[in-house]
Amino acid sequence: MSIIHAMYTGASGLNSMAQAMSVIGNNLSNASTTGFKGAIANFADILSQNIGTTQASGITQMGNGVHLDGVSRNSRQGSFQMTDNTSDMAINGQGYFIVKDYSNENSTKTYYTRAGDFVKLTESTVGDADLETIKLSTKRGMVLQGWELDNTGAQVSSALTDVDISPSRILSLAQPTTTVTMSVNLDAEDEDLSGTSYDPNNSQTYNFSTGARIYDNQGEGHDVEVQFRKIGSLQWEWHVALPSSDLDSTQRGIGNLTAVDDTDLDGILDEGTHVRAAISSEYTTGLLTFTPSGQLKTEGSTPITFNWNNAVTPQEVLFDFGDAMGDALGQAHTADSTNDYTGFDLTPTSSTYMTFAAATAADDTGTTGGLGTVQYAAGYSTLEVSQDGFPEGRLDRITMNTAGVMTGHFSNGTSRSLYQLPVALFTNPLGLEAKGNNLFVATPYSGTRTVAVAGQGGAGKMTGGAIEHSNVDMAEEFTRMIALQRTYQANARIITITDEMTQVVRDMKK
């Protein structure tokens, strides 16, 4: 074997070290790339040549140098950085996000990525912002995939779909008010107005009022005023008044405010088919009574009907003033009227749409008379006002939990589950082929793909509002660089020494 063989052996070392240095250079250049996975160069010796045999060791072989045997990806997880961007997300553990490329009209390609710095891909319809399409995607336009969820949080289909958060399809529909919960303190020391006729437009005819905003089935808000009149030491009338312009002609009064009253305190409701008679002998509709110690004793509150000027269907609303205790605490009683009404119908095609089911007197249990409206000598105050309706809402922001469930938070204060992001797992993730832009495609070497729920079956958990940094460790890379440099120098020295040896042979002719 000629001396020139040694020179080629050294050259193989130079070539292999140069390729390995390129791997390190690529790692360092991507040290700040979101979700990037570094790589490590692996070497192997070149097939040795047999140069003879010996009795002691058998075959005698001489190596032919080194070559780059492969570049393996470092699958170690990078560190997380929390961000202010709600569309950022990271996988804490094994797995990849699934994205699709629709840029080719003739075919759709599926890619996988660890980079969760997603953006809103917007396609607008000229002149109509409501038809704007917004999908979560990579910065290169690859659309994120997920399972769509219904209002109950269940999957609409087992098939993956685009994560589409367009305003035209992601809405929080308006919900009409069914119940207003109101807790006030009525001043026990205020004057008795039983000798004065009630007029919703004259504040001298009632003692106290507090407001609430309720919503019809179109999502339009209406400001109502609950007016309280003291008509005895322990008795108070209550009336619901609102702007007359909000009501249709069948219910509208002649003043600025109309009191939508459904009783004249005789226990008989007298405003048509959408109002009901009191069903318990313990309470009188439209009347609140209290114990001498100020606890709510009986609550006369049956559904009130509103005939809105913008709606065909009347709407019933129940005003709940607290937990009336009845005649004797601990004994069976039916003094709390709002416990007698259930089953509000929100089915638009139903003949009883926007009404409560027929009332059935129910025993009141666990009532104390102190959790709601009370009568104490402590001045008037509104303790709590709440209601269960809301207007239509637009998507305001999204959040993510560890199971990959994306929740939409809407401008009307409601929230609901929108999508659940899956995690793609592979038998051999190192067999995925990198395609640039933090994207990978499956290959025969990556094995079977499994689409898993985050946090289950070996899949990593989701972290919302975070991105995964590159896993490149610069200290490790510089250490490898120094080792490569010394190996490169040694191989270069082999070539120079071999060249000097060949020069000696040439000089023998002189």
List pLDDT tens digits, range 164-200: 999 888 888 899 999 999 999 999 999 999 999 999 9
Q: Which residues pair with 10 in a beta bridge?
A: none
pLDDT at position 391, please?
Answer: 94
- State the average pLDDT over residues 139-156: 93
- List C-alpha distances in Å: 405 to 258, 298, 416, 461: 47, 45, 10, 11
Q: Which domains does the chain have, with CATH numbers?
A: 4-76+471-507 (no CATH), 81-151+397-468 (no CATH), 179-387 (2.60.98.20)
Question: Which tens digit of pLDDT belongs to each residue from 25-57?
Answer: 999 999 999 999 999 999 988 877 766 666 666
Phi, psi of 150 (to 5 degrees): -90, -175
The predicted-structure confidence for 305-337, as pLDDT tens digits, reads as follows 999 998 889 999 999 999 998 876 556 788 999
- pLDDT higher than threshold 90 for residue 296: yes
CA distance 167 to 175: 18
Task: Write the DSSP symbol of residue 340.
Answer: G
Checking if the pLDDT of 19 tops 80, the result is yes
pTM of the model: 0.75
Please state, in angstroms and as integers, the Cα–Cα distance from residue 408 to each residue in 151, 153, 258, 412, 465, following that order.
11, 12, 39, 11, 14
pLDDT digits (tens, 9 = 90+) for 83-112: 989 899 999 999 999 999 998 877 799 999
Q: What mean pLDDT, rounded, does the chain reach?
A: 88
